[in-house]
A and B are shown apart, each in its own frame.
Chain A
Amino acid sequence: MRTGQDCGRKVLLAIALTAAGLTFASPFHARAEEAPGPRVVAITARRFEFVPKEITLKQGEAVTLRLTSEDVTHGFFMKALGIDAVIEPGQPTDVTITPQTTGSFTTICDHFCGEGHGNMHMTIVVQ
Chain B
Amino acid sequence: MANRVDRRSFLKIAGTSLGIGALYSVAPLLGADGEGSEIARMLWKKHGERLKPFSFVQLSDTHVGFNGPPDPLGTQAYERAVDMINGLRHRPDFVLVTGDLTHDSEKPGEHADRMKRFQEISSRLRVDAVRCVPGEHDAGLDGGALFRDVFGPTFYSFDHRGVHFIGLDNVSRAKPEVGPEQLAWLKKDLARFPTTAPIVVFTHRPLFDLKPEWEWFTSDGDEVMNALASYENVTVLYGHIHRQHEHAAGGVRHYAARSLIWAFPDPATTADKKPLPFDKEEPFKNLGLRLVQEPGTRGAVPDPPTIDDVELTMREYSGTVGINQFLKEGAAR
Contacts and interface: CB of A to CB of B under 8 A. Distances in A.
A110 B175 CA distance: 6
Interface of A: 73, 75, 77-79, 84, 86, 106, 108, 110-112, 114-115, 117-119, 121
Contact of A110 (B104, B141, B215, B274): B215
A86 B177 CA distance: 14
15 contacts: A73-B174, A75-B175, A79-B209, A108-B215, A110-B175, A110-B215, A112-B140, A112-B171, A112-B174, A114-B104, A115-B104, A115-B105, A117-B136, A119-B273, A121-B213
Interface in B213-244: 213-215, 219
Contacts of A110: 175-176, 215, 219
Given A77-B212, A106-B213, A111 B104 contact: no
B273 A118 contact: yes
A112 B141 contact: yes
B106 A111 contact: no
Contacts of B274: 119
SS class of chain A's interface: helix, strand, loop or mixed? mixed
Given A84-B219, A119-B273, A111 B174 contact: yes
Contact of B136 (A73, A84, A86, A112): A112
SS class of chain B's interface: helix, strand, loop or mixed? loop
Contacts of B214: 108
Contacts of B175: 75, 86, 110-112
A114 B141 CA distance: 7
Top-8 shortest CB links A-B = A112-B140, A106-B213, A112-B136, A112-B174, A111-B174, A79-B212, A111-B175, A110-B175
Nearest to A111: B174
B254 interface: no
B12 interface: no
Contacts of A117: 136, 140
B270 to A, nearest CB: 12
Given A84-B219, A86-B175, A117-B140, 16 more contacts: A75-B174, A75-B175, A77-B212, A78-B213, A79-B212, A106-B271, A108-B212, A108-B214, A110-B176, A112-B136, A112-B140, A112-B174, A112-B175, A115-B104, A119-B273, A121-B213
Contacts of B103: 115
Nearest to B66: A115
Interface string B133-172: 0001100110000000000000000000000000000010
A14 B215 CA distance: 66
Nearest to A75: B175
Interface in B58-83: none
Contacts of B140: 112, 117
B54 to A, nearest CB: 35
B204 to A, nearest CB: 11
Nearest to A80: B212
A84 B105 CA distance: 27
A75 B215 CA distance: 11
Nearest to B172: A112
A79 B175 CA distance: 14
Chain A CB within 10 Å, residue with most, of B103, B209, B273: B273
